[in-house]
Structure formats: structure tokens, C-alpha cells
Amino acid sequence: AQSVTQPDIHITVSEGASLELRCNYSYGATPYLFWYVQSPGQGLQLLLKYFSGDTLVQGIKGFEAEFKRSQSSFNLRKPSVHWSDAAEYFCAVGAETSYDKVIFGPGTSLSVIP
């Protein structure tokens, strides 16, 4: 069965600093991997996705993520954080063979210090 872990419950960074959010997954085959962001009181929004090919994927809002099969990881990065990036971030794993079933990690809450 698919599963996702996000080791960091909460992270605080200063505006302008770099960011890396960790994600580890468990899945027998090649997974489909995603990062979503949730602002307070809102639904989740897709930031980026990895299906195959280049292991470094670019997303919206200046985010990128790197798939590392050997480490079963899919970490999210941003070189310079803006105050508006404060939100909850969810890593997710899916597989085409399971009729689009997508499982989300527990989330990492990001606070940004001005």
C-alpha cells in the first residue's frame, strides 16, 4: 500500500531564506508524486508533480522538487521564501494502476518570519 511521511511537522524560516521540505514515500512500483499547498480556510492546490523522466521538476510559485529513487524521497525546495508562502504543505503519492487513488502525508506547516 502507498504511504507518505513528512518528518517535519512545523518549520519556521525567515523571509528571503531558502526552504526545503522533506517527504519520503513507500510504494512498490514507480510512484506518481505530488506536492500540494493549503492556505488557511482553503482547499489544497497542486504545486507540482512527478510522473517520470527528469527527476527535478518545476512547479508554480517558484517551487521545485527532486525525486530520488534510492532514498525514496521527493523533497520540495524554494531558493527564496516570501511571506505569502506561509501555509500547510502536503506531499502525496499516487499510482495510475490504482484508479487515481492519492494518499497524502501528514503535512508540514510553514511559518515565515518577516
List residues near other proteins by CB under 8 A. 32, 34, 36, 41-46, 49, 51, 90, 92, 94-96, 98-107
Q: Which is nearer to other proteins, 49 or 77 (CB)?
A: 49
**CB 16 → other proteins: shortest distance, Å?**
30
List strand residue ranges (DSSP E) for 15-72, in order.
Answer: 19-21, 24-26, 32-38, 44-50, 56-58, 64-68
Q: Which is nearer to other proteins, 79 or 106 (CB)?
A: 106
**CB 96 → other proteins: shortest distance, Å?**
5
**CB 7 → other proteins: shortest distance, Å?**
14
**CB 14 → other proteins: shortest distance, Å?**
27
Of 37, 35, 41, 38, whose CA–CA distance to 58 is shortest?
35
Q: Which is nearer to other proteins, 27 or 81 (CB)?
A: 27
d(CA 99, CA 104): 16
**Angle at CA of residue 33, ends 25 and 13, nearest 5°:** 80
The residues with which 34 forms a beta bridge, in sequence order, are 49, 92
Q: Which is nearer to other proteins, 81 or 92 (CB)?
A: 92
d(CA 7, CA 98): 26
